[in-house]
């Protein structure tokens, strides 16, 4: 199957540029480049292949929800956040007489094949990387909603729902500073620069107070290369020396708390820990976890409403950013 990536490589342009031409956004592309891309599309038979993937006009009542896993070392469905998100999506789509089909095939061809097989009315893409999302949006002709993408992509049949991750990181930085924590760190799971909004906000809060956080205090356990527990063992001798640690998710914060506890480090007496998301379990740990709350139900409602509006041919807002808030509990202590 000819892919948008193949056309981009032949023409020496990005996949986004090819997508703009396919979707008629020619104002963004020079005439010479546009003509080159159109010629390659015609010669390759890409449009014929794309048409073969088109769904028949009759609605199936099914919405596909595709969740990107990113690594063989991570079971994405074991993350409580995605369980909560799926439950809200199912609840809201059911109100609209639609039903979700969870797609866990990690390949673009597999997702398109499933979309064709099940005659999906639309797709909700969660946690997707840019290249794959651009490719899918060019092959799948029905409406798409993305959740938790780390980039903006313009497309008429696409709605992107974000949370203000930069502000969330900033809020946690401000809170740590208010408690007198200067020797701080952040625990992350991605080396991708586009995923570092929370770190940037966290670091900026300190910079605004004249304190520069070095990259060395940004600990990354690359789950493409090692299991999370193995990563904790590797960084433990260094990370335990900080007074407070901001984790990129509650899931990782809870694992870190457990690891520290097994190694005789008390929370928050010896070290303060915070998370991100405010999943259900944060209120039942000992101590309860300080975190950044995002409203997962609101995110699901916005996704469903946007999908239904696109299916009805209504005007939609293509980029939606939802707010976050600091939730203070017992896992952080003051040094003042």
Q: Is residue 14 part of a domain?
A: yes
Domain that holds residue 210: 165-294
Q: Same structural domain for residues 70 and 213?
A: no
Q: Same structural domain for residues 111 and 200?
A: no
Which of 14-28, 67-81, 108-122, 263-277 has the weakest average pLDDT? 67-81
Q: Same structural domain for residues 258 and 320?
A: no
Could you give the 3-state DSSP secondary structure of residue 32?
Answer: helix
Measured between alpha carbons, how far is residue 105 from residues 65, 70, 134, 259, 312 in Å?
11, 11, 17, 32, 28
**What are 320-330's pLDDT values in tens digits?**
999 999 999 99
**What are 160-172's pLDDT values in tens digits?**
999 999 999 999 9
**What are 278-295's pLDDT values in tens digits?**
988 888 899 999 999 999
Band (72; pLDDT cuts 50, 70, 90):
low
Band (313; pLDDT cuts 50, 70, 90):
very high
Q: Are 4 and 124 in contact (CB under 8 A)?
A: no
Q: Is residue 108 part of a domain?
A: yes
Q: What is the pLDDT of residue 273?
A: 98
Longest dimension (CA), the chain: 70
Radius of gyration of the chain (CA): 22
For residue 148, pLDDT beyond 70: yes
Q: Are 47 and 291 in contact (CB under 8 A)?
A: no
Q: Same structural domain for residues 222 and 320?
A: no
**What are 191-223's pLDDT values in tens digits?**
777 678 999 999 999 999 999 999 999 999 987
Q: Same structural domain for residues 171 and 269?
A: yes
Q: Are 256 and 270 in contact (CB under 8 A)?
A: no
Residue 20 makes CB contacts below 8 A (sequence gap 6+) with 26, 28, 29
Q: Same structural domain for residues 171 and 288?
A: yes
For residue 125, pLDDT beyond 70: yes
- The structural domain count of the chain equals 3
State the chain's mean pLDDT as an integer. Answer: 88
Which of 20-24, 180-184, 257-261 has the weakest average pLDDT? 20-24
Band (48; pLDDT cuts 50, 70, 90):
very low
Q: Is residue 334 part of a domain?
A: no
Identify the burial level of 209 via C-beta atoms within 10 angstroms of its C-beta, where 0-12 means exposed, 13-18 middle and 19 or more buried. exposed
Q: Same structural domain for residues 93 and 151?
A: yes
Q: Same structural domain for residues 66 and 140?
A: yes
Q: Is residue 139 part of a domain?
A: yes
Q: Is residue 277 part of a domain?
A: yes
Q: Same structural domain for residues 98 and 160?
A: yes
């Amino acid at each position: 199957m000819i892919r948008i990536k193949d056309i981009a490589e032949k023409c020496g342009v990005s996949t986004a540029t090819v997508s703009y031409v396919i979707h008629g956004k020619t104002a963004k592309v020079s005439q010479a480049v546009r003509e080159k891309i159109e010629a390659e599309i015609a010669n390759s038979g890409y449009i014929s292949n794309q048409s073969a993937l088109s769904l028949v006009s009759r609605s199936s009542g099914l919405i596909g929800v595709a969740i990107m896993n990113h690594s063989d070392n991570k079971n994405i469905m074991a993350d409580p956040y995605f369980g909560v998100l799926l439950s809200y999506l199912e609840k809201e789509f059911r109100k609209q007489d639609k039903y979700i089909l969870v797609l866990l095939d990690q390949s673009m061809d597999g997702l398109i094949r499933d979309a064709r097989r099940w005659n999906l009315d639309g797709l909700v893409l969660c946690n997707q990387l840019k290249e794959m999302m651009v490719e899918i949006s060019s092959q799948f002709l029905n409406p798409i909603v993305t959740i938790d993408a780390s980039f903006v992509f313009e497309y008429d049949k696409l709605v992107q729902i974000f949370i203000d991750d930069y502000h969330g990181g900033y809020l946690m930085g401000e809170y740590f500073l208010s408690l007198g924590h200067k020797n701080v760190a952040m625990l992350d799971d991605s080396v991708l620069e586009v995923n570092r909004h929370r770190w940037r906000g966290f670091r900026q809060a300190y910079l605004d107070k004249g304190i520069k956080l070095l990259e060395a205090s940004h600990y990354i356990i690359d789950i493409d290369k090692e299991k999370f527990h193995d990563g904790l063992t590797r960084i433990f001798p260094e990370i335990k020396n900080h007074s407070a640690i901001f984790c990129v998710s509650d899931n990782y914060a809870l694992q870190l708390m457990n690891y520290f506890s097994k190694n005789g480090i008390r929370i928050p007496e010896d070290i303060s820990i915070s998370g991100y998301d405010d999943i259900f379990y944060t209120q039942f740990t000992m101590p309860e976890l300080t975190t950044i709350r995002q409203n997962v139900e609101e995110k699901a409602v916005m996704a469903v409403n946007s999908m239904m509006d696109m299916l009805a041919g209504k005007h939609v807002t293509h980029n939606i950013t939802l707010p976050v808030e600091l939730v203070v509990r017992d896992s952080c202590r003051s040094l003042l």
